[in-house]
Amino acid sequence: MIKQHLEPRQFGLVPRFAMGIEKAADHHVGLARAAVPGAELQALQTVRAVHDLPLGWNRHQPQSVVARCGFGEYKPQIAMRPEILNPLFAELTDLKGIGPALAKPLARLGLDRIVDALFHLPTGTIERKPVTELDEADIGRIVVVTLTAQDYRSGGSSRAPFRVQAFDLAGNHVNIVYFGRNTGWAKKLFPLGEARRVAGRLDRFGDQLQIVHPDMVEPVDGDVAIALREPVYPLSEGLSNARMADIAAQALARAPELAEWADGALVAREGWPGWRNALAAAHGEPDDAQSRDRLAYDEMFAGQLAWMLVRQALKARRGHPVHGDRRLRDALRLPFAPTGAQLRSMGEIEADLARDTPMLRLLQGDVGSGKTIVALEALLTAVEAGKQGALLAPTEILARQHFATLQAMLVGLPVNLAVLTGRDKGKVREATLMGLADGSIEILVGTHAIFQEAVGYRDLAVAVIDEQHKFGVAQRLLLTQKAQRPPHLLVMTATPIPRTLLLSNYGEMDVSRLDEMPPGRTPVDTRVIGASRLDEVVEALGRHIEAGKQAYWVCPLVEESDALDLASAEDRAAALALRFGERVGLVHGRMKATAKDAVMDRFSRGEVAVLVATTVIEVGVDVPNASLIVIENADRFGLAQLHQLRGRVGRGAEKSVCLLMRGEHLSETARERLAMMRESNDGFRIAEADLELRGSGEILGTRQSGEQGYRVATPEQLQRLLPLARDDARLFIDRDGGIAGARGEAARTCLYLFERDAAVPLLRGG
C-alpha cells in the first residue's frame, strides 16, 4: 500500500477527477460566476457525499483503493437532477427549427440549452399601429399596412439600395428599401402585383415616404398574424426578434409547474405569482414588474441558500490553527508605518488564523492601499508557526513582481522565498519542488504552475490568492488538496466592491476593507481630451520622455480590426517608434511570456521609456518612474477597468497624469463614466457609480472574461430584494428544517434550476 502511494501512476487519476470536481465546484460559485476559494474544497466534499466515499479518501488515493470502493476508473458526477427539470436542460437544438446555423448566434448570446432561453428575458416592447392608408402624421412610428408592389428599382452602384415601389389600398406611394446585394430576397418577399401585410418604421426621404428593411412581411391571407405589441429580445447578428420570440415560446411550453420554494407569507405579501406564471408573464409583458421581481428573487434565493450551505459545511471542517510568535513580523522594516485600515485587517486575519476553522476572508482595497503588506503578514504568521504559505498571482508578470516586492521586504530575515511559474524548467524547477516537499521553502509565489500534480507541500497552512477571478476552478481545487487539512484562504481584490455585490458575489465570506491610503500617494491628475488632439499628446509625451520620465500608452486592441474603429497597440507602437525609436516597447496578451517579461524588465530598468500595451498591464505592474498614462478610446472601457489602469501611475514621488482620449461621438453613459474618472480618485465611489452605470458584471471584471453574473436580477433588484432572499434562506435553514422540512424538496429543485446544485448534498434537517 505504501509503495502504491509513492508510485507515479497514482497521478493518472487526477485529470479525470479534477474535471469532475471543477464541474461540481462551478456550481458552488455559479451565482455570481465569481470564483470563491473553498468552493472547490466543498465540491470535493460533495463528491464524497454523493458517492459515499470514505472520509479519509483524497485525490491521491491509489486506484486499487478506489476500485475497492466500487468505482474502478473513478469519474465523479454531481448528484442527480430532479427528473421534472430534465426537459429544461436539453440542448436548444432539440427545439423545432434550430439547426447548426441558428445555433451560432444563439451561442454568442450564451444560449445553449432550453433553460438559457427561458431566462433570456425581453427588455422592452414594440408597439405597432395598424393603418389602412399611409399618413405623414405617422412618420417615425412602426405601422402595419397592406401594400402591393408595382416595380423594382436598383441603384447605379453595388452600394446603392434596392427599392420596391409599392402602394397602399388608397393608392399612396411608398418605397420599401433594402441595403445589400441580395435583391432576390426582396423580390421574393414582394412579388409584383401581390398584396402583402407589412410592418415597419415609416420615414420620409426627400419628398417620398419609405420603410427601410421592414420588420415583417406576410401574405394577406397567410397563417401568420402580425402582433401589434411584441416583446423585444436582446439579439445577435443572424437572429431575428421573431425567431427569438418563437424559441422562447417553445421553451416556455416545456417549463413545468414546480412546487413553491419561497416562503408563503413573503409571496402573499408581495403579491407574486408562482414561478412558471411569472416566467410566462415576463416573456409576454416585459413591463410586469411583479413577475420580474419574482424571478429575480428566485435567482437570489438559490444563490444565498447555496452560499449558506457551503459556508456552514466549511465551518464544520477542521483546519490548522496557526499561532505565530511575531518574531518575523516584528523584524520587518517597512518604508512607512501601516495605516489604521492595514492594522485592523492584520488583526482580523491573525484572529482567523488562530482558529481551527479554515479562514475564508476577502481583502479588498483600492489600487495602492497596501494589500501586499497585509498578505505578507499572513504568510509570515504561517512561517513563524513552522508551516508554509503560498501566494498565487494571475499572470507571470505579476507573480515575478510579487516575488521581487516580497524579496525586498524580507531582506535580512531568515525566510526562504521562492517563485514558480510555467517558464521554470529543469534543475531550477526540480530544486523548487524539492524545497517545497521537504519544507525548506517557506513561502512560494507563483502562477497556475503551482497547481500542477508534481508540486507538493510539506505543510501548506496559508494561501493568498491575488485577483482571484482570473483563476480556473479546478486550479484552485488542486491547491486546496495539497494541504493535509484545508488551508486558510485569503482572497485579495484590487477592485473595490459595493456592499450589495459583496453580499451577492462573496456570500458569507468575511471581509476586510482597506479604505485608507498609505502616506506619499499623490492623487493622479486625470484629464479627458478628444482624439483629434493626438498630435499634441505625442508632443507632450516627447517632453515627458526628455525629462527622464516614463509613460504607458494603452490601446483597446492588439492589432487593427476591420470590424472595430479602435486604436491597436501594434499600430500605435509602430507609429511612436518612428518618433522615439527603440525607447518604445510593446506588450500584449498574445505575446509569449518570455517575450513579455523581457519588455517589462527593460521598462522596469528604464531602458524603455514608453510602454505601449493592451489591458495586460491592468493589474499589478509597478514602475514608480512612470508618471504618465495615455488611454486611447477611453470611452470604450468600463469604470473599474479605467480605474485599474490609472493605478499604474502615481506610485512615485512625482506628480502623475492620466490622459483619457475619447472618441468624437459619446453615449450618455460614456460621458458620465469619463466625468466620474475626472472628478474622483476614490475607488469605492467609482465602484458604486459603475454599479449604477454598467451593472455587476463590470465591477467584478466578469464581463471581460465572458462570464455573466445574474441572468435575471438587475442591480436595482439586487439592492432591493437581496436582503429578503438572504433572510428567507436563513429561515429555511434555521426555522423550516432544511431538506426535512416542508419546503425541502422544493428548495432542492430551486438549487438545481439555478445551477447551484453542488450544494444539494449539504442540505440536512435542522
Whole-number pLDDT of residue 3: 33
Nearest alpha carbon to residue 385 among 487, 491, 477, 510 = 487
C-alpha 479/C-alpha 453 separation (Å) is 9
Most confident range, picked from 268-277, 589-598, 617-626: 268-277
Q: Which cell numbers in the block locate residue 235?
A: 439579439
Comparing 47 with 579, the larger pLDDT belongs to: 579
Q: In which band, very low, low, confident or very high, does the pLDDT at 592 lie, cut at 50, 70 and 90?
A: confident
Question: 3-class DSSP state for residue 512?
Answer: strand
pLDDT per position as a tens digit, 450-465: 766 678 889 999 989 8
The rounded distance, in Å, linking the Cα atoms of 35 and 506 is: 9
Most confident option among 22-36, 43-57, 424-438: 424-438
Residue type, 739: I
Q: Which residues pair with 175 in a beta bridge?
A: 165, 210
**Does position 21 have pLDDT exceeding 50, yes or no?**
no
Q: Which residues, including other chains, have CB under 8 Å from residue 252's CB and lie 6 or more apart?
A: 118, 279, 280, 283
Please, what sign has the CA dihedral across residues 625, 628, 632, 635?
A: positive
- Grid cell locating 649: 501611475
Does 482 score more than 70 pLDDT?
Answer: no
| pLDDT in the model for residue 608 | 95
Q: Looking at the predicted structure, is the pLDDT value of residue 11 above 70?
A: no
Which band of pLDDT confidence, cut at 50, 70 and 90, is reported for residue 44? very low
> What pLDDT, on a 0 to 100 scale, did the predictor assign at position 315?
67
* pLDDT tens sequence across 357-388: 888 888 888 777 889 999 999 999 999 999 99
**Helices and strands (DSSP H and E) totals, the chain:** 26, 22
Distance CA 585, CA 658 (A): 19
- The span from the CA of 493 to the CA of 246, in Å, is 42
Range 147-155 average pLDDT: 91
- Of residues 496 and 332, the one with the higher pLDDT is 332
In the predicted structure, residue 687 carries a pLDDT above the cut 80: no
Higher pLDDT, 590 or 245: 245
> 451, 442, 335: which is closest to 393 by C-alpha?
451
Q: Residue 118: in which H helix or E strand, if any?
A: helix 114-118
- 146 forms beta bridges with 197
For 655, what's the count of Cα atoms within 13 Å in the CB-facing half-sphere?
Answer: 2
Highest mean pLDDT among 51-55, 477-481, 659-663: 659-663
Burial label, 193 (beta-carbon count in 10 A; 0-12, 13-18, 19+): exposed
**Confidence at residue 69, expressed as pLDDT on a 0 to 100 scale:** 30
Name the residue with higher pLDDT: 570 or 701: 570
If one compares 118 and 505, the residue with the highest pLDDT of the two is 118
Whether 311 and 508 have beta carbons less than 8 Å apart is answered as yes
pLDDT score for 475: 46
Residue 322 clears pLDDT 70, i.e. is over it: yes
Q: Cβ distance 659 to 649 under 8 Å?
A: no
Q: How confident is the model at residue 647, as a pLDDT?
A: 86
Contact 362, 493 (CB under 8 A): yes
pLDDT over threshold 70, residue 419 = yes
Highest mean pLDDT among 191-205, 421-435, 729-743: 191-205
How far apart (Å, rounded) are the C-alpha atoms in residues 151 and 441? 83
Indicate whether 471 pLDDT > 60: no
**Average pLDDT in the 503-519 region?**
73
Q: What is the per-residue pLDDT across 558-591, written as a single tens digit (0 to 9) for each?
A: 655 444 445 688 999 999 999 999 999 999 878 8
Mean pLDDT of the chain: 80
CA distances from 538 to 300, 389, 534 (A): 49, 46, 6
Question: Which of 272-276, 578-582, 625-629, 707-711 shows the lowest per-residue confidence on average (mean pLDDT)?
Answer: 707-711
Percent over 70 (pLDDT), the chain = 78
User: Which amino acid is residue 724, in one-letter code?
Assistant: L
Quick one: pLDDT at residue 394?
79
Alpha-carbon Rg for the chain in angstroms? 30
Distances, alpha carbon 75 to alpha carbons 15, 62, 320, 573, in Å: 10, 14, 30, 49
How far, in Å, are 98, 103, 457, 497 from residue 91 at the CA level? 10, 10, 43, 35
Q: Using an 8 Å Cβ cutoff, are 74 and 16 in contact? A: yes
Expressed in angstroms, the distance from the first to the final Cα of the chain is 40
Above 90 in pLDDT, residue 134? yes
Kindly tell me if the per-residue pLDDT of 704 is higher than 70. Answer: no
- Residue 692 neighbours by CB distance under 10 Å: 15
Q: Cα–chain-centroid distance for residue 618?
A: 15
- pLDDT of res. 426: 83
Give me the phi and psi of 626, to 5 degrees please: -85, 110
Digit-coded pLDDT (tens) for 657-670: 999 999 877 778 88
Residue 621 region by backbone torsions, left for phi larger than 0, else alpha for psi between -120 and 50, else beta: beta
Is the pLDDT at 332 greater than 70? The verdict is yes
Lowest model confidence (mean pLDDT) among 60-74, 409-423, 556-570: 60-74
Note if the pTM is more than 0.75. no
Q: What percent of the chain lies above the pLDDT cut of 90?
A: 46
Task: Give the single-character DSSP code of 589.
Answer: T
Average pLDDT over residues 42-67: 36
Return d(Cα 488, Cα 481) in angstroms, integer. 12
Q: Would you state the pLDDT for residue 543?
A: 96
Contact 313, 344 (CB under 8 A): no
- State the Cα–Cα distance between residues 163 and 152, nearest whole angstrom: 6
- What does the pLDDT read at residue 479? 53
Helix axes 473-480, 39-51, angle to 10 degrees: 80
pLDDT confidence bin for 260, thresholds 50/70/90:
very high
Q: Which of 3-7, 414-418, 595-599, 709-713 has the lowest mean pLDDT?
A: 3-7
Neighbours of 45 (CB within 10 A): 20
Q: Is 470 helix (H, G, I), strand (E, B) or coil?
A: helix
pLDDT value for 38? 39
Which candidate, 654, 335, 342, 699, places its Cα nearest to that of 517? 342
**Given pLDDT bands bounded at 50, 70 and 90, which one contains residue 149?**
very high
4 pLDDT more than 90: no
Region for 92 from its dihedrals, namely left if φ exceeds 0, alpha if ψ lies in -120 to 50, beta otherwise? alpha
The pLDDT assigned to 650 comes to: 86
Mean pLDDT of 164-175: 95
In single-letter form, the type of residue at position 220 comes to V
Rounded to 5 degrees, φ, ψ at 308 are: -65, -40
Average pLDDT over residues 64-81: 39
* pLDDT tens column, 91-104: 999 999 999 999 99
Q: What is the pLDDT of residue 22?
A: 32
